[in-house]
Amino acid sequence: MLAIIGGSGLTKLANLEVSRRLAARTPYGDPSGAITCGKIGQSDVLFLARHGYGHTIPPHEVNYRANLWALKDAGADSVVSVASVGGIRNDIWPGAILLPHQVIDYTWGRPSTFFEGPGAPVNHIDCTETYSRVMRARLLNAAAAAGERVTDGGVYAATQGPRLETAAEIHRLERDGADIVGMTGMPEAALAREIGMEYAALTVVANYAAGRGDSEHAVPLDKIGAVLEEAMGRVRRIIEKLCEQ
Ligand code: HPA
């Protein structure tokens, strides 16, 4: 079964026919909220709002382990993470949808593995390709079927937040090879891999990153809401097609 984790701008899926809400408990604590269970078309789907349904949980306080554990426990074997990001390259403009193929983790202090604590085995999972090839291909097919443009590939820099970056930090991320920057991509992607879930991220560019484009002197935060609202309509159409596959 497919699970969707919605980020900023996507706290509910309008096209989801809700059958029930599941208040899950996990050995890692509580997830961000109840899991919404339902159908999109003929497909069973689970939905979870990463920042809570009232958007109250900042990126560094999201319980990523509980979220993924709860979704798996509820029957999910694949995950599409929807996340808003800043565009580092000038040709990655606000409103663009990008399917990253790689991630660099700059976060710190977040519980980031299931393999720790009493009784847990030592385990080094392979992260060469953290995002699932299968899910990426399915999302690209779904976008084509929906007639929505999605940029195939990009390097996601996961920063700690909750503050946005300095212009110099963005320059450094670009030198490191990053194309987009967001605050929730890790440890989520690695944790999904640790528990064997097929995981890919569909990222929506909310703004140019600090120092780029019209964010040259400041990120225009007042514009982000409208950009995300429009783009999430396209994301919903892609997810609809994904559920028809
Ligand atoms: N930086 C980090 N995370 C983000 C940004 C950004 O510019 N925009 C949306 N999420």
pLDDT digits (tens, 9 = 90+) for 142-159: 999 999 999 999 999 999
Q: How many domains does the chain have?
A: 1
What is the structure's pLDDT at 148? 98
How is residue 25 written in tokens? Answer: 């408990």
Specify the range with the lowest mean pLDDT, choosing from 46-55, 142-151, 188-197, 205-214.
46-55
Mean per-residue pLDDT over the chain, rounded: 95
Largest CA distance in the chain: 51
Q: Name the nearest CA neighbour of 64 among 30, 37, 36.
A: 30
- Which residues form the domain of 101? 2-244
Instruction: Report the amino acid identity of residue 172.
Output: R
Q: Name the nearest CA neighbour of 130 among 203, 193, 178, 76.
A: 193
What separation in Å is there between the alpha carbon of 84 and the centre of ligand 1?
7
Atom of ligand 1 nearest to the CA of 182: 3
Q: Return d(Cα 190, Cα 7) in angstroms, integer.
A: 17
Atom of ligand 1 nearest to the CA of 219: 7
CATH number for the domain that contains residue 98: 3.40.50.1580
What separation in Å is there between the alpha carbon of 19 and the centre of ligand 1?
33
pLDDT band at 7 (very low <50, low <70, confident <90, very high): confident
| Residue among 163, 207, 219, 232 whose CB has most ligand 1 atoms within 8 A, to mutate | 207
Average pLDDT on 13-35 reads 93
pLDDT band at 222 (very low <50, low <70, confident <90, very high): very high
pLDDT band at 137 (very low <50, low <70, confident <90, very high): very high
Q: Whose CA is nearest to atom 2 of ligand 1?
A: 182
What is the structure's pLDDT at 111? 97
Q: Name the nearest CA neighbour of 125 among 187, 190, 201.
A: 190
Give yes or no for residue 23 having a pLDDT over 80: yes
What is the structure's pLDDT at 53? 83
Q: Return d(Cα 191, Cα 199) in angstroms, integer.
A: 10
pLDDT band at 122 (very low <50, low <70, confident <90, very high): very high
Give yes or no for residue 169 having a pLDDT over 80: yes
What is the structure's pLDDT at 164? 98
